[in-house]
Amino acid sequence: MTLHEDPRRFLLNLFEAAVRAVQPAACLRKHLPAPPEGRLVILAAGKAAAAMAAEAEAFYEERWPGTEIEGIAITRYGHTVPTNHVAVHEAGHPFPDGAGENASRGMLSLANSLREEDLAVVLLSGGASALLSLPPAGVKIEEKQKLTRALLATGAPIADINCVRRHLSCIKGGRLAEAIDPARSITLAISDVAGNDPSVIASGPTVPAHTTALDALSIIERFRVPIADPIIECFKQNLALPAPDAPCFDRTDFRIIATGSHALSAAAALAREAGCEVSIVGDELEASALELATSHARMARSHTNPGVPRIILSGGEATVALGKNHGAGGPNQEFALALALELQGERNVHALACDTDGIDGGSGAASDPAGAVISSRTLSRAKRLGLDAEMALAGHDAGTFFQTLGDLITTGPTLTNVNDFRAILVSA
């Protein structure tokens, strides 16, 4: 099926190629070290945690039969895959819950049991910062949950949210590395963070932090979210995280094994094979869905080679600041709807916007859509069905809009996450 015969299918093919390139099966094995003389322990957290743990198990079983493996993986509800040795725990995301707290406590306990001859293989992926939830003494998980919910509703950048999470945790900000010491550790991360800062990915459980609790408190004050007294007290105590020169970091290694850039490159290669001119805008775009729609529409209109189809690719994270009353959908669906309105009157344009984890919107269920697809006919089709695109956008109800049109993209959990994927096809 060519891009001319079925542009929608072509865009889906690009998305699928992008996701395949950053799944554990494609990126993990070449980074795994040989087993140690002592215990081999896998500590995994994130939406890809179970899939990464299963891939690591298979690698060691095939290369070094008889290797004893143990470990804990903490993943989002609905993201489990079978493992032979690693215990998989499901927990809440993006809002922490008791299941995540208990599993994180178990992970920290296992890390503390390691000796110098042992090796911890730490596997991180998008979502780990919420799933690794172990509040300090005096702070209840419900209080942390309420704060997380309020911060996410403001559309705050993930770096700010993870700063707050880091300083409300006994396992982040280098504290997992502190527990693993004196054993060796290697951290392999699938990054969903713009800029790929190791201290922001999963809030940096195995790397030094470069923030303080007072930084976290200032973020909360800047976004004017309510905060429980025990959390204020915790921040004012400014409990120190392991210093950058702490001995626990001497025997650690950190590698990023997949990013949004890898996903976009895979999609670009497929598009070029189909004869498209490709523009990769970048994999680190962070802005509101509306701002991104405006800038992407401008790029789509600037197509200067009318004889050749053009693909515009981008990644990063679209955000939405929700009010008290809002409809269904997620940032990618909102981007797609805003883009359709921005491109009103343009011909031969198709676009897809999806979250690479398969779930658009942090609080959605595993069965929720990944995103949506639009074309030059989206608004005319909507009008015939009595849909008001501008009203749907204003009410953050893009999900209902696209569901009525049959233009939602549903994949289920992809078991990876490198943030958003956007593709715009301007046909020849």
Task: Name the residue with tokens 């078991």.
Answer: 415
The pLDDT assigned to 154 comes to 87
Element (H, E) at 404: helix 398-405
pLDDT at 209 over 60: yes
At 378, give phi and psi (nearest 5°).
-55, -50
Q: pTM value? A: 0.94
Spell out where 231-361 has E strands: 252-258, 277-288, 310-319, 349-355
Task: Name the residue with tokens 């195995």.
Answer: 206
pLDDT at 247 over 60: yes
pLDDT at 1 over 60: no
Domains of the chain: 7-19+260-426 (3.40.1480.10), 24-258 (3.40.50.10180)
Q: Which two tokens stand for residue 325?
A: 């009353």
C-beta separation of 404 from 385 below 8 A: yes
The pLDDT assigned to 234 comes to 86
Q: How far is CA 245 from the centre of its chain?
A: 29
18, 23, 29, 32 alpha-carbon torsion, rounded to 10°: 110
Which residues lie below 8 Å from residue 393, measured CB to CB, with a gap of 6+?
334, 337, 338, 341
The pLDDT assigned to 422 comes to 99
Is the bond leading into 82 cis (omega within 30 degrees of zero)? no
Of the candidate ranges 229-238, 273-282, 358-367, the one whose mean pLDDT is the lowest: 358-367
At 150, give phi and psi (nearest 5°).
-65, -40
Instruction: State the average pLDDT for the chain.
Output: 94
At 387, the pLDDT band (50, 70, 90 cuts) reads very high
The pLDDT assigned to 115 comes to 98
**Hey, what long-range contacts does 265-269 have (CB within 8 A, 24 or more apart)?**
265/21, 266/17, 266/18, 266/20, 266/21, 267/14, 267/15, 267/17, 267/18, 267/311, 267/313, 267/421, 267/423, 268/311, 268/313, 269/17
The pLDDT assigned to 363 comes to 60
Mean pLDDT of 100-109: 98
d(CA 31, CA 26): 11
At 364, the pLDDT band (50, 70, 90 cuts) reads low
Q: For the purposes of burial, counting CB atoms within 10 Å of the CB of 374, is it exposed (0-12), middle (13-18) or buried (19 or more)?
A: buried
pLDDT at 362 over 60: no
Percent of residues, the chain, with pLDDT higher than 90: 83
d(CA 351, CA 166): 36
